[in-house]
């Protein structure tokens, strides 16, 4: 059993030949409505890896919220700790994706910003009974800190994906068993610009000095840097054809959490997560691209 505390968003994706200028109306190629949000994506990734996932989150009382919950239920995710808030919009991400593969995103947090201390208190038994707690930073930092506290009190392992990038105290970092982050987030938290494997190693070491136990720094198509207490090493990514990198990080984090909850060793857990993330890159969208365990294992053992 895994507990996820995090965000739920509806992604509204416009494919466009190029980015519009201020005041311009531009004909797009197509429109896609995709279920997203870092918390929800990671919960889905964990569920598709076979875990029993309990999700603590907020939606609005609108059609987007209903649609997102329906999708989560289809993946077998437990929704008992999701609160639907009256007169509030569900989180929405408006995404422009151009022919060059660049994106521009406007995010409105909506109900995600209202996840509060009573939501966490109400889920404290579920968190205490979990093998592992998984959090990101698309919900208020106070509530994330409270969730981490309740996990630590019950001796539950904590995986934190500090995304979107945001400053964190050493006190929070010291409570995190596995800090999983990309180049941007690592730069924000370590002060080291991460551009290659060497700088990744430096940044990860800094984050360990700040208190994080294990640091996993993902490096996109390159792979990842693993920094544990006894050893640090690079692991290459799987080679795949890129369609859309949305949710690569989320798929990595959710799958990694399941492997750790199952008791896999660190290297094996990282490779399982990289296999899942690489498959997510080969398909369009957020939750639409997250693979099932069978495919992930097949690629891993090929
Ligand atoms: P984020 O989406 O948070 O920026 P990354 O881009 O670092 O995260 O991707 C996370 C993981 O997903 C990487 O460590 C890698 O294993 C996998 N991945 C990402 N992009 C690719 C790619 N183009 N080819 C293969 N694997 C990829």
| Domains, in order of start, for the chain | 2-300 (3.40.1190.20)
- Sort strands 53-60 and 30-36 into parallel, antiparallel or unpaired: unpaired
Comparing CA positions, the residue from 221, 98, 237, 248 lying closest to residue 163 is: 248
Q: Tell which one of 105, 195, 220 to mutate to probe ligand 1, the residue whose CB is within 8 A of the most ligand atoms.
A: 220
The rounded distance, in Å, linking the Cα atoms of 140 and 113 is 6
Q: Is 119 an annotated catalytic residue? A: no
E strands in 86-238 = 91-98, 103-108, 132-135, 157-160, 178-181, 214-218, 223-227, 232-236
- What residues are in contact with ligand 1 under a 6 Å CB criterion? 182, 218-221, 223-224, 237-238, 240, 242, 245, 248-249, 252, 274, 277-278, 281
Quote the distance between the C-alpha of residue 30 and its chain's center.
Answer: 26
The rounded distance, in Å, linking the Cα atoms of 211 and 189 is 12
From ligand 1's centre to the CA of 25, what distance in Å?
33
Helix (H) or strand (E) holding 35: strand 30-36
Q: What is the pLDDT of residue 189?
A: 97
Q: What is the pLDDT of residue 249?
A: 96
Comparing CA positions, the residue from 157, 202, 206 lying closest to residue 178 is: 157
Q: What is the pLDDT of residue 246?
A: 87
Omega before 164 cis (within 30°)?
A: yes
What predicted TM-score, i.e. pTM, was given to this entire model? 0.96
**Low-confidence residues in the chain, pLDDT < 50:** none
From ligand 1's centre to the CA of 183, what distance in Å?
11
From ligand 1's centre to the CA of 63, what distance in Å?
31
Q: What is the pLDDT of residue 244?
A: 86
Q: What is the pLDDT of residue 101?
A: 78
Q: Is 134 strand, coil or helix?
A: strand
Residues 101-123 have pLDDT tens digits of 788 999 999 999 999 999 999 99
Q: Which residue has the tokens 């059609």?
A: 63
What DSSP state is assigned to residue 40? Answer: H
From ligand 1's centre to the CA of 238, what distance in Å?
9
Atom of ligand 1 nearest to the CA of 224: 14
Atom of ligand 1 nearest to the CA of 238: 25
Tell me the sheet residues that pair with 3: 54, 133
Q: What is the pLDDT of residue 201?
A: 98
From ligand 1's centre to the CA of 9, what distance in Å?
21
Atom of ligand 1 nearest to the CA of 274: 16
Q: Which residue has the tokens 């929800």?
A: 40
Q: What is the pLDDT of residue 76?
A: 98
91 close to 7: Cβ distance less than 8 angstroms: yes
Q: Per the residue annotation, which of 11, 250, 265, 294 is the catalytic one? A: 250
The residue whose CA is least distant from atom 9 of ligand 1 is: 220
């Amino acid at each position: 059993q895994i507990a996820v505390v995090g965000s739920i968003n509806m992604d509204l994706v416009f494919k466009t030949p190029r980015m519009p200028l201020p005041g311009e109306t531009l004909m797009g190629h197509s429109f896609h409505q995709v279920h997203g949000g870092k918390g929800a994506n990671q919960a889905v990734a964990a569920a598709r890896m076979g875990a029993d996932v309990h999700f603590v989150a907020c939606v609005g009382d609108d059609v987007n919220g209903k649609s997102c919950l329906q999708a989560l239920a289809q993946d077998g995710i437990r929704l008992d700790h999701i609160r639907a808030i009256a007169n509030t919009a569900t989180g929405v991400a408006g995404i422009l994706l151009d022919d060059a593969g660049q994106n521009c995103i406007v995010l409105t947090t909506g109900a995600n910003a209202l996840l509060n201390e009573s939501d966490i208190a109400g889920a404290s038994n579920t968190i205490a009974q979990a093998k592992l707690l998984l959090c990101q930073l698309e919900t208020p930092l106070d509530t994330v800190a409270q969730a981490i506290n309740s996990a630590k009190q019950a001796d539950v392992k904590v995986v934190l994906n500090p995304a979107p990038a945001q400053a964190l105290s050493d006190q929070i970092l010291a409570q995190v068993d596995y800090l999983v982050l990309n180049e941007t987030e690592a730069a924000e938290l370590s002060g080291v610009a991460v551009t290659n494997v060497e700088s990744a190693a430096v940044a990860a070491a800094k984050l360990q000095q700040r208190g994080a136990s294990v640091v996993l720094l993902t490096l996109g198509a390159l792979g990842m840097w693993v920094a544990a207490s006894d050893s640090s090493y690079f692991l290459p990514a799987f080679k795949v054809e890129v369609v859309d990198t949305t949710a690569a990080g989320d798929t990595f984090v959710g799958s990694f959490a399941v492997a750790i909850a199952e008791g896999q060793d660190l290297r094996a857990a990282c490779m399982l997560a990289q296999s899942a993330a690489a498959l997510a890159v080969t398909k369009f969208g957020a939750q639409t691209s997250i693979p099932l365990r069978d495919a992930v294992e097949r690629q891993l053992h090929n």
